Amino acid sequence: MTASLRFLGLPDRLADGGTPRAVIFSAAHGTTYPGKDSSGYALAADAIRAASQDDATLVEHWDFDLGGPLFDGKPVCCIDAGDIATIMHDNAANRARIEARTREILALGAVPILLGGDDSVPIPFLAGFADHGPVWVLQIDAHIDWRDEVHGERYGYSNPMRRASEMPHVAGMVQVGMRSVGSARLAEIEAAQRYGSRFVTARELHAHGVEAALRHIPEGARVVVTLDCDGLDPSIMPGVAARTPGGLTYTQAIDLISGLGKRARVRLRPCRVLSARRHRRLDGRDGIPPDRQCDRRDRPAALNQAVRATSLLSRSGLRHSTAEQPRGRCSRARR
């Protein structure tokens, strides 16, 4: 990533040298399954950053989805720290780098926001919260990601929620947006239910609204949000492999994030996972041949994910409601 291409044109450090409230960073690879080619993920974060440039000059403008400008007319207090250098199949080292960067950001008292990357990156990201628990996980995804192992690997893209359930600092999880079929079998469903994971299918969310998911989050809990692009309907997020009708709408995703910000102590949020093909083409499937051509639907997919990232940013303690006293430029979000 070049210095000129940062999310919403944000700086890589604050002008006054102060501590940022939120730090965006990205990682292309976590754990790649044996024999698989995940090189297509390497351009994902840059595709999102490129799409966000359309709104870079509008940061101070009124956003009707947010109820005001992104930073409420105050100085920018978020930075884009760029990419973590990861290497396909260098699995253990990739996980160590992502976890270490997450811990560094949390140690600053800032909100880490991770742009993926393959769907295994939430595992080391969540591991980085070990000293900041207990946390709840809100997963927005078409699939539950509860496989114990695939091809002998336990840290790949089908394993994140299974590994999260084993982390002592993870108090519980709510999984939202599931539909159709995926890698989960009866054994994975039963394992998730024994753990106590709360399932809210896309159909339930459509029928009962976002409260169907929010009611499972304890009041005042610390929450980590993990957003997989295929949790959203392919009519607005086509740049994924498993395009399955019936996903969350734009408004539902915004309302879910907004509602969570009002209910929980949400200062910890990652955003992932949009996958990019070479030549800035987007696709969500691991192992697709590099020469596969994708269509122009990939551009709106990147743009939509940039919008989701902006929404996550706005709910991470960066904006001030009118009921709150103004806070300093880089003070922490309310606890």
Q: In order along the chain (335 residues), what is the average pLDDT of each group of 10 residues?
A: 74 92 94 92 87 89 86 90 96 98 95 90 96 96 96 96 98 97 95 98 98 96 92 88 90 89 65 36 35 43 62 55 29 27
Q: What is the pLDDT of residue 1?
A: 42
User: Which domains are delineated in the chain?
Assistant: 7-318 (3.40.800.10)
**Other C-beta atoms lying within 10 Å of the C-beta of residue 62:** 11
Q: What is the pLDDT of residue 292?
A: 33
Tokens matching residue 2: 């070049």
Strands 78-84 and 22-27: parallel
Q: What is the pLDDT of residue 96?
A: 98
The whole-model pTM stands at: 0.85
Q: What is the pLDDT of residue 309?
A: 67
Q: Phi-psi category of 8—alpha, beta or left, where left has phi over 0 and alpha has psi -120 to 50?
A: left
Q: What is the pLDDT of residue 289?
A: 34
Q: What is the pLDDT of residue 290?
A: 35
